Amino acid sequence: MKHYTYFRSSAAYRVRIALNLKNLATEQIAIHLTKDGGNQHSPEYRAVNRQRRVPSLALDSGEVLIQSPAIIEYLDEVYPTPAFLPADPVERAKVRAFAALIACDIHPLNNLAPLQYIKRVLKQEQPAIDAWYHHWILEGFDALESMIQPGPYCFGANVTLADIYLVPQIYNARRLKVPLDAFPKLVAADAALAKLPAFERARPESQPDAE
């Protein structure tokens, strides 16, 4: 398999964690999202992923999967151990809701493309863009803090989909200097997960394309 990735992309970060948890090796192909106008806009990558975003996962069959939720679900279905979701249907729904809050309500508003649009088209200055970013992180994290269950991880003693989504979002929040004092449960889960090799190996600074 080939994983088209970018070291700072939180969506690609999620997939790296998932691949590591499943103990799957892939060829990593770096797609720099800002250099030379963004390598994702090249004709070569457009042929891989018409949306021109990362991650993409090219299977050995030649099929290409896009969108991190779909890729992670595929990995969990094809390689069921360890499972990313609890056995109980209610708990599964809670874990999915936690992950969806990040994937659907936080990340899309703070992704590179909308931030560039706010700057280049709407002509906003960096302080206003930072305020936008902080607002959606803080609002989302307030809800996540109430959803998290007793640890050490987001939903107990087993790593779940929630953890795969949380860690990259916490990383980005810290990178953009979002204060996290109000979210001790999220911070504690992130600290516990950081000790696991699958999460450590997926960190942005550990990637070959890290700057």
Domains of the chain: total: 2
User: Are 100 and 168 part of one and the same domain?
Assistant: yes
User: Are 139 and 70 part of one and the same domain?
Assistant: no
Cβ-count burial 158-195 (b if 16+ within 10 Å, e if not): ebbbbbbbbbbbbbbbeeeebebeebebbbebbebbee
User: Are 13 and 68 part of one and the same domain?
Assistant: yes
Could you tell me the sign of the dihedral formed by the alpha carbons of 26, 32, 33, 37, in that order?
A: negative
Average pLDDT over residues 170-199: 97
User: Are 120 and 163 part of one and the same domain?
Assistant: yes
Average pLDDT over residues 89-110: 95
Q: What is the per-residue pLDDT for 108?
A: 87
For 14-66, the three-class secondary structure string (H helix, E strand, C coil) is HHHHHHHHCCCCCEEEECCCCHHHCHHHCHHHHHHCCCCCCCEEECCCCCEEE
User: Are 104 and 38 part of one and the same domain?
Assistant: no
User: Are 61 and 150 part of one and the same domain?
Assistant: no
User: In which element (H, E) is residue 144 found?
Assistant: helix 126-147
pLDDT above 80 (res 145):
yes
> Does residue 180 contact residue 142 with C-beta atoms inside 8 Å?
no
What is the C-alpha to C-alpha distance for residues 18 and 183, in angstroms, rounded to an integer?
24
Q: What is the per-residue pLDDT for 30?
A: 96
75: CATH: 3.40.30.10
pLDDT above 90 (res 112):
no
pLDDT above 90 (res 110):
no
187: CATH: 1.20.1050.10
Which of the pair, 114 or 153, is modelled with greater confidence? 153
User: Are 123 and 181 part of one and the same domain?
Assistant: yes
The CA angle 149-150-151, to the nearest 5 degrees, is 110
Residue 114's pLDDT band (boundaries 50, 70, 90)? confident
- For 89, the token pair is 């249907």
Residue 75, domain member (yes or no): yes
- For 208, the token pair is 């070959």
pLDDT tens-digit map of 49-75: 999 999 999 999 999 999 999 999 999
User: Are 70 and 155 part of one and the same domain?
Assistant: no
User: Are 148 and 176 part of one and the same domain?
Assistant: yes
Beta bridge partners of 30: 5
Residue-range definition of the domain harbouring residue 161: 89-198
Residue 66, domain member (yes or no): yes
What is the C-alpha to C-alpha distance for residues 127 and 132, in angstroms, rounded to an integer?
9
Last residue of a domain, one of 61, 82, 103: 82
Average pLDDT over residues 35-59: 95
pTM: 0.94
Residue 203, domain member (yes or no): no
User: Are 71 and 162 part of one and the same domain?
Assistant: no
Residue 175, domain member (yes or no): yes
pLDDT tens-digit map of 8-20: 999 999 999 999 9
